[in-house]
Amino acid sequence: MLLKGRAAERFARRPEEDVWAALIFGEDEGLVADTGAALMAAWGGKAGLEVTPLDEDAVRKDPALLFDALEAVSLLGDARGVRLRTSGDKLAGLIGEVIAAGDADPRRFAAKFVIEAGTLPTKSKLRAAAEGAARTACLQLYTEEAGDVAERVKAALLADGIVIDPPALAAFVGELPGHRALANAEIEKLALYGRGLGRPLSLEDIRTLSATEAEAEVSSAIRAALGGDAGAAQCALDRLAANGTGGITILRSLQFEVVRMLSAHEKMAAGDSNPGRSLRPPVWQDEWPAFRARLGRWPVRRLMRVMERIHAAERQAKLSGAAGEPAIRMLINDLARVAASAA
């Protein structure tokens, strides 16, 4: 069962009773994660679900982990769920086997199952397994439109009793990253700023909260790396390290820029020769030549490999703390080297 866009999001809030598993995918990983959480919440009801997250690498090494997690029954009798984040078709065979087993015997697994993935092509084996199953939903998500984002921002602020002027809302939404998780962080930052302010948020407030010097430095490092200038990228990283900017911040910003470039490729493939203004944040006319040059060095397949490297570097940084910083520097240096060779 394939559902797309808003129909997929509505399903996540009110799933059909006979569905026990769902493949959720789309280019915005934050939106995918939010939808997965909404589906688990809907399945859990007021009591909630005891959710077990699984790591793709661990499951690849030991496939029995997935079956064990799905078959395990809570000692307290609580409802359970399993969330697995994957990329491409790496686990397509195993997940297809699980989906088929759930179709064949509705009592086989004790837990609900959510598979979260990035962009999947139409011919993906993972998509085919989910779309062809009777008791698994296949939910394809699209990046939000500006109007939807504006409504979400207003609702989030009103929940804290905060009002925002229309010009300020338009400016804030225009600067939000297209990645849901990153956008949520910016909305939370705005809500913190507005609490107890005693007046509506104004355009001047939004300008006050706009890009800081550190954020501009992060952007500089990423543009240099993707443009093939290793020296400039490493100098920017040195300045960020001196200012105490963490590696995870750099990786998240790099991930957002890669997602934005993938979106640009998709729009250009659909016939839009200059999609800059429809990206979030937009690429203005004077910025477009440099952005277009970077797109030429980074085709879709290469960008997808970059996403895999980002995830690996983030895992290492989280496990190693400060010791993981060299992995991030190495990633930035490798990107610059590849971009330079592709010039």
Degrees to nearest 5, angle at CA 48 with 47 and 53: 155
Whether residues 94 and 166 share a domain: the answer is no
Q: What value does the mean pLDDT take over residues 35-61? A: 89
Least trusted range by pLDDT, from 105-114, 125-134, 169-178: 169-178
Percentage, residues of the chain above pLDDT 90? 45
Contacts of 242 (CB under 8 A, 6+ apart): none
Query: Does the pLDDT of residue 323 top 90, yes or no?
Result: no
% residues pLDDT > 70 (the chain): 94
**Which CATH number does the domain housing residue 33 bear?**
3.40.50.300
Q: Which of 111, 140, 169 is the last residue of a domain?
A: 140
- Mean pLDDT value across residues 16-21: 92
Tell me: the pLDDT tens digits for 40-52? 999 988 878 888 9
Confidence of residue 275 (pLDDT cuts 50, 70, 90): confident
Segments forming the whole domain that contains residue 262? 213-341
State mean pLDDT over 187-201.
88
DSSP state of 19: -
User: What is the band of 284 on the pLDDT scale with cuts at 50, 70, 90?
Assistant: confident
Looking at 208, 236, 251, the residue that finishes a domain is 208
Whether residues 64 and 128 share a domain: the answer is yes
Tell me the pLDDT tens digit for each residue of 129-168: 999 999 999 999 987 766 778 888 998 899 889 999 998 8
Cα atoms found within 13 Å of the Cα of residue 261, Cβ hemisphere only:
27
**Predicted pLDDT at 184:** 81
pLDDT of residue 127: 94
> Are 316 and 235 in the same domain?
yes
For residue 142, the model assigns a pLDDT of: 85
User: Are residues 51 and 155 both part of a single domain?
Assistant: no
Which range has the worst mean pLDDT, 106-115, 149-158, 206-215? Answer: 206-215
pLDDT score, position 157 = 93
pLDDT of residue 178: 65
Predicted pLDDT at 215: 74
* pLDDT in the model for residue 179: 66
Are residues 101 and 174 both part of a single domain?
Answer: no
What tokens appear for 282 in the block?
């937009």
Q: Helices 180-194 and 29-44 sit at what angle, rounded to 10 degrees?
A: 80
Same-domain status, 258 and 240: yes
Q: Tell me: do 204 and 169 sit in the same domain.
A: yes
Q: Name the residue with tokens 């559902």.
A: 3
pTM for the whole thing? 0.55
Residue with tokens 């920017």: 236
- pLDDT tier for residue 307 given thresholds of 50, 70 and 90: very high
Answer yes or no: do 181 and 217 share one domain: no
**Statement: residue 343 has pLDDT above 90:** no
**Is the model's pLDDT at 229 over the cut of 80?**
yes
The more confidently predicted of residues 83 and 272 is: 83
In this prediction, residue 210 carries a pLDDT of 63
Domain co-membership, 10 together with 105: yes
Average pLDDT, the chain: 87
State the Cα–Cα distance between residues 233 and 223, nearest whole angstrom: 8
Window from 155-169, 174-188, 285-299, 323-337 with minimum mean pLDDT: 174-188
Give Cβ neighbours of residue 14 (< 8 Å, ≥ 6 apart): 42
Same domain flag for 233 and 189? no
| pLDDT of res. 276 | 82
Give me the pLDDT at residue 321, please.
64
- Do 126 and 157 belong together in one domain? no
Cα–Cα dist 254/329, whole Å: 12
Q: Which residue carries 């060299």 as its tokens?
A: 326
Amino acid at 140: Q
Q: Does residue 190 share a domain with residue 116?
A: no
Q: Residue 331: which CATH number?
A: 1.20.272
Number of domains forming the structure of the chain = 3
pLDDT of residue 165: 93
